[in-house]
């Protein structure tokens, strides 16, 4: 049996603007995960630059930060056995056009012709990232 974990889930500005907060949470809870903590906020540039620090200097860094500054974000501390891998599976692949049907990105996302892919949600990719990211957002 996998260990009990926590992960950071971000509902990005595109999903917030499209009123998909409830749908994302519904899918997490339907999977059996628990929302331990949740907050809606306008993220600061400093927070986003620290969150995406590993991408600093890459061509998509500034458009990504600008996108994340474009509206409110919902940060969720999600808990469950194997939740880190499980949420990433639930979210679907990064590109919403090729994300599998049944996933959040596959069912609800699409390409909009923007400078950076707007793909509705973020989920931590490892236990180390989860720990670092949860400390930033909560």
Do the beta carbons of residue 109 and residue 94 sit within 8 Å?
no
- Rg of the chain over Cα atoms, rounded to whole angstroms, equals 14
Of 126, 128, 6, whose CA–CA distance to 75 is shortest?
Answer: 6
Whether 122 sits among the annotated catalytic residues: the reply is: yes
**What is the C-alpha separation between 44 and 30, in angstroms, rounded?**
31
Residues contacting 131, CB < 8 A, separation 6+ = none
- Residue 126 is encoded by which pair of tokens? 């490892």
Domains in the chain, CATH or no CATH each: 4-137 (3.30.70.141)
Alpha helix (H) ranges present in 52-126?
61-69, 83-91, 104-108
**What is the C-alpha separation between 74 and 61, in angstroms, rounded?**
20
pLDDT at position 66 is 97
Output the CA angle 113-115-119, nearest 5 degrees: 70
Is the pLDDT assigned to residue 2 strictly greater than 80?
no
CB-based contacts of 95-98 (< 8 A; 24+ apart in sequence): 95/119, 96/120
- 47-57: average pLDDT: 96
- Catalytic position from the list 55, 56, 81, 122: 122
**Tens-place pLDDT, residues 107-131:** 999 988 888 889 999 999 999 999 9
- 24-53: average pLDDT: 98
b/e code 38-73 from CB counts within 10 Å (16+ = b): eeeeebeeebbeebbeeeeeeeebeebbebbebeeb
């Amino acid at each position: 049996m996998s260990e009990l974990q926590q992960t950071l889930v971000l509902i990005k500005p595109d999903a917030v603007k499209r009123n998909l907060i409830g749908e994302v949470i519904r899918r997490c809870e339907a999977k059996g995960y628990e929302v331990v903590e949740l907050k809606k906020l306008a993220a600061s540039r400093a927070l986003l630059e620290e969150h995406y620090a590993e991408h600093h200097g890459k061509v998509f860094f500034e458009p990504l930060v600008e996108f994340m500054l474009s509206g409110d974000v919902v940060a969720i501390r999600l808990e469950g056995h194997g939740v880190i891998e499980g949420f990433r599976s639930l979210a679907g692949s990064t590109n919403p056009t090729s994300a599998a049907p049944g996933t959040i990105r596959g069912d609800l996302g699409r390409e909009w012709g923007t400078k950076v892919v707007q793909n509705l949600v973020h989920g931590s990719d490892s236990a180390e990232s989860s720990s670092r990211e949860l400390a930033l957002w909560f």
